[in-house]
Amino acid sequence: MMNNYINNKAMMLRTIKSILVVITLAFFMQSCDDRLDLQPEDERLTADAAFEDPAAYKEALAKIYAGISLSGQQGPAGAPDLAGLDEGFSNYLRLYWKMQELTTDEAIIGWNDGTIQDLHGQNWTSGNEFIRTMYTRLMYQVTLTNEFLRQTTDSKLDSRGVDATLRTEIQTYRAEARFMRALTYWHAMDLFANPPFVTEEDASGAFLPEQIQRADLFTYVESELLAILEEMAAPRMNEYGRADRAAAWMVLAKIYLNAEVYTGTARNADAITYLNNIIGSGYSIPDTPYFHSFLADNDSNGSQDEVIFTIPFDGLRTQAFGGMTFLVHAPVGGTMNPADFGINGGWFGIRTTPTFVDQFNLDGFDPATATSAIGTLSDWGLVGSATPNGWDGPDTQLAEIATNVFQGYINFVDGEMKFRFNNDWSLNYGLDASNADPSALSEGGDNIAVTEGIYKVTLDLNNFTYSLDASVDDRELLYTDGQNKDIEEVGPFNQGYAVAKYRNVDVNGNPGSDASGDHTDIDFPMFRLADAYLMYAEAVLRGGGGSMNTAVGYVNELRGRAYGNAAGNITESDLTLDFIIDERSRELFFEAHRRQDLVRFGQFSDQGIWQWKGGVQQGTTTESFRDIMPIPATDLGINTNLEQNPGY
């Protein structure tokens, strides 16, 4: 992996855990026995002693970054950042993913841990421990960044005699720490609207922080990001896994696109400004299959060219039971083979709903039009009882997409078919019964049995093979064998299709670096160019300016990767907000965007319906106040400066 900035964790944290003066604020921690405290897990050196080694500054920054991927001071568990919380579910990324995905139509989980079922059911209370732990983790992350900023002021550096070269590096580290704090406060603003607010300007020590209102927090996050832009590394010029200017632009674009939700005032033109900056910075949609972006080598297989900000994971050096370990193991179960996912076993937890599955339906897809879109129609075609015209023909034509390679789309019925040239039996190909390769063809070979459905059919006369692809859109990474589409009961894993998006194997099928099969090498793509493209199209549709023609081009670039050709291309008349919310789901599912998207489109609580929303099988709407999470009751009981969000 290219996680250069994350050193061996044990060595790195030996210094880091000595320098972090963790504030004992009541709202940071709820222990298992209901004592509100946050106790350091070690004997600490003084901060000045900890920073005697110049490398400690970068190591402290690494701890801030690792606050999203790791859960404690040693992996995978045993010395948690937050004492009293189960370390497995206290991981930042695991919690944030649950808030943004389990609450929506994209994900449902069969486990019965505590109040976890209330997330998908949207019937949570202010006592929900998963919501509380997310809140705690956010505040802990803010604490880390605040203390780093306190320890790297000019006066502190002067007192330690820091030389000019290191001081220059530290200024960049400070900008990155402020970015990480802005990212965290954006997450807090999105989820909780009106959280407690603390910066490095507040003194260390125990006190009850004031509550900030959502619109004021928006202004703060915006101002912080704008202030650090010139101090951040230029786009694509920082170490892998560290934030650069484009990452800051992306958070700005995110808050501007959601500004009407956060503040009541739309800022779509501002979103387009920063999206244009990102799109013009050299990122690209790689000429690789979509699923490569979610494999163990997604830092080096070409997929990294699209990634604006990533959360690195390494099966040996970033071991935790949250993060990508959770996102690979939890969706595997039933008849799924764990070895195909590079792991030692599934956790039989996460599936998806029929609503998400139906995002990939082909009701409006015309096979003949799609075939004409991908190349010049040829004399090669399909004939047989499974084809529209039967054995009598005429043949269903294929398009030539490369020399001696022909492809087309066809709506088969159950039956048989063969490949035929120019509607004439004098040259035809069927299965080569003498070849162990099931895709091998021979002249005059056996009929090919097919089942009902729309397929992408490829005939390769360079090596005399064929393929039938039932997934027209390659983003349809669903596992259906032994799975029911409808979810009659939440608990059994076979209820609902499984999602096979993240796999801890490389492009050649080799498993990740952890030989035990527990932990994974997949880096989590927090921000991708695909997201920026779809945000641009949405901002154009919402009146932010820009170009419809450009927006269509961006969307078609994504759909070209998904379809492998121009068969899925759209026109300006197809580009609507309804299309965008669905396309965002198809492109970005399981990447922790869905709840935010549904809230922005007004489809999260009192509008959209999917199975088991509201706690009933058929699904129902819920109260609109659930667009915002509650302030945890434990914090309200201690901090008299806080008011609960409406409805709770």
Per-residue pLDDT reduced to its tens digit, 347-368: 999 999 999 999 999 988 999 9
Confirm if 95 and 134 have CB atoms less than 8 A apart: yes
Per-residue pLDDT at 74 = 79
Helix (H, G, I), strand (E, B) or coil at 446: strand
Per-residue pLDDT at 85 = 63
Of 449, 395, 436, the residue nearest 419 (C-alpha): 395
Least reliable range by pLDDT among 77-91, 211-225, 376-390: 77-91
Angle (CA) 16 313 563, round 5°: 150
Helix, strand, coil in percent for the chain, rounding step 5: 40, 15, 45
Of 466, 481, 477, the residue nearest 292 (C-alpha): 477
Give the whole-angstrom CA distance, residue 128 versus residue 90: 13
Helix (H, G, I), strand (E, B) or coil at 258: coil
Give the whole-angstrom CA distance, residue 363 versus residue 369: 14
Per-residue pLDDT at 38 = 38
Per-residue pLDDT reduced to its tens digit, 129-188: 999 999 999 999 999 999 999 999 999 999 999 999 999 999 999 999 999 999 999 999
**Structural domains of the chain in order of their starting residue, each with its CATH number:** 366-469 (2.60.40.3620)
Per-residue pLDDT reduced to its tens digit, 171-186: 999 999 999 999 999 9
* pLDDT beyond 80 at 32: no
Is pTM beyond 0.75? Reply is yes
Give the whole-angstrom CA distance, residue 334 versus residue 354: 18
Per-residue pLDDT at 311 = 98
Confidence band of 45 (pLDDT split at 50, 70, 90):
low
* pLDDT beyond 90 at 89: no
* pLDDT beyond 80 at 586: yes
Give the whole-angstrom CA distance, residue 338 versus residue 538: 38
* pLDDT beyond 90 at 8: no
Per-residue pLDDT reduced to its tens digit, 239-277: 999 999 999 999 999 999 999 999 999 999 999 999 999
Amino acid at 386: A
154: alpha, beta or left, given left = phi > 0 and alpha = psi -120 to 50?
alpha
Confidence band of 87 (pLDDT split at 50, 70, 90):
confident
